[in-house]
Amino acid sequence: METNGKVKQKFPYKIQFVDDVVNLKLLANFHGEKTGFVQVGDEKWFFPSKYEQAAEHFYGFEARASDVWIATFPRSGTTWTQEMVWMICNKLNAQAARSEPLAKRVPFFELHIYMHDLMKQQLLSENPEPLNRQIIEDFAKPAYEVLAATTERRFIKTHFPFSLLPPSIFKTGAKLIYVARNPADVVVSYYHLNKLYRTQGYVGDFANFYNYFENNLTPWSPYWTHLKQGWKARHFPNVLFMFYEDMKANLPKTIRTVAEFLEVELSDQEVDRLTEHLSVASFKKNPSLNGQELIAARILNSNVQGFIRNGQVNSSEEEMTDEIRERIRKWTEENLRDTDLRFPVL
C-alpha cells in the first residue's frame, strides 16, 4: 500500500486512550474533540482520537529528497519559519506569497486529525457558502493524500516529534528545520491558540491550561521530550536546529543561516526585503498569513486574540502569574538537568 492509499512501513508504537476519568475532564475543556484523546508509545505523545486511524499513513509517508520540512512544538515560530523558507526557495516572490494562503503553500501534515467528524458536520451546517464549505473540506482532508499527488517541490509543516516523523525523511536526506522556543512564551501563546480554534475549542482558564501543559495533556506533548529529540538530532546533515529567541534577536542573520542550509544565495538587499516581509506588523496585515479564510469559515473564533499575536520573547502576559512563573522555572530546571540544551539569554 502507498500513503495515498498504501502504507509502506508498519507503525511501531502502541496507541491507547487516556484514562477514562482524565478523558472526561479533557472533553469538558476541549470542545472541538468529541470522542477522546490517545497517547502514543512509551513517551505518551498526546493526540485526538483520529490519530489512531492515521498513524501508519503518517509514519509510512514517502518523503522526497527535495522536500523541506518545518518541525516545531506548537507556537514556536512555525508560521514565521514557514513563510521564510517558502520565500527563500521561491525567489522572494511576495506577490505569489500574498495571493495564496500559507496553508496551501506549506501544508500542515497532521492537520486533519484535529477536525473531528462531528465538528466538521457542525461547521458545514453553519456555512452554506460553497467557498467556506470547501475550506472546511480542505481542512479535513489528510495532507498525506494531497502531498502524494503534488508534483512540484513540497514544503511541509509538522508538529510531530522526531520519533513520530516518517523515517523516509532521514533516508532521503530531505531538509528539516526544527525551531525551539522557551516554555513560558509557548504556553501563553498555545493557550490563546486553543481558544482561537474551534477545532480545539478550549473553554477553561489559563491556570487550568497550564496544568494540562505541564502534565503532558495538550496536543503534541510532552514538550520537553519533543525539544530534546530535536536537540539530539541537530547534528544530522539534513537538520537545522534553531531557537526562536535567536530569530527574534537577529532576523537577518537567521535568514542567511536558513538560506545557506537550503543552498540558496541571497544578496544583502534581498535579506533586507525579506526581513521587512517577515516583520510582525507585515504579518498581521498579510491576508495569506493571518487566517482570514478560517475566520470566514467559522473555524476560528472571531472574538478572541488572532492567529498572529505579538511574537515577543519573555512576554509579561497578564495570564502569567508569579506562581506559574515559578512553576515553569522549576519545571525547566528539572528537565534541563540531563541535557546541554539551553535557551539563549536575551
pLDDT tens string 3-57: 444 445 689 999 999 999 999 999 999 999 999 999 999 999 999 999 999 999 9
- 29 part of a folded domain: yes
- 217 part of a folded domain: yes
Q: What is the CATH number of the domain that holds 135?
A: 3.40.50.300
Phi/psi of residue 178, each to 5°? -110, 130
| Catalytic residue of the set 159, 192, 226, 235 | 159
Residue 212, CB-side half-sphere exposure with 13 Å CA sphere: 28
pLDDT at 291: 83
pLDDT at 3: 42
- 3 part of a folded domain: no
- 343 part of a folded domain: no
- Global pTM reads 0.93
All cell numbers assigned to 215: 502534565
Query: Residue-wise pLDDT tens for the chain (346 aa)?
Result: 344 444 456 899 999 999 999 999 999 999 999 999 999 999 999 999 999 999 999 999 999 999 999 999 999 999 999 999 999 999 999 999 999 999 999 999 999 999 999 999 999 999 999 999 999 999 999 999 999 999 999 999 999 999 999 999 999 999 999 999 999 999 999 999 999 999 999 999 999 999 999 999 999 999 999 999 999 999 999 999 999 999 999 999 999 999 999 999 999 999 999 999 999 888 878 888 878 899 999 999 876 555 444 555 555 567 889 999 999 999 999 999 999 999 998 6
Share of the chain above pLDDT 90, in %: 86
Number of domains composing the chain: 1
Is 159 a catalytic site residue? Answer: yes
- 219 part of a folded domain: yes
Structural domain boundaries enclosing 187 = 15-335
- 275 part of a folded domain: yes
pLDDT at 60: 97
pLDDT at 5: 42
pLDDT at 317: 66
What's the chain look like in SS3?
CCCCCCCCCCCCCCEEECCHHHHHHHHHHECCCCCCEEEECCCCEEEECCHHHHHHHHHCCCCCCCCEEEEECCCCCHHHHHHHHHHHHCCCCHHHHHHCCHHHHCCECCHHHHCCHHHHHHHHHHCCCHHHHHHHHHHHCCHHHHHHCCCCCCEEEECCCHHHCCCHHHHHCCEEEEEECCHHHHHHHHHHHHHHECCCCECCCHHHHHHHHHCCCCCCCCHHHHHHHHHHCCCCCCEEEEEHHHHHHCHHHHHHHHHHHCCCCCCHHHHHHHHHHCCHHHHHHCCCCCCHHHHHCCCECCCCCCCCCCCCCCCCCCCCCHHHHHHHHHHHHHHCCCCCCCCCCC
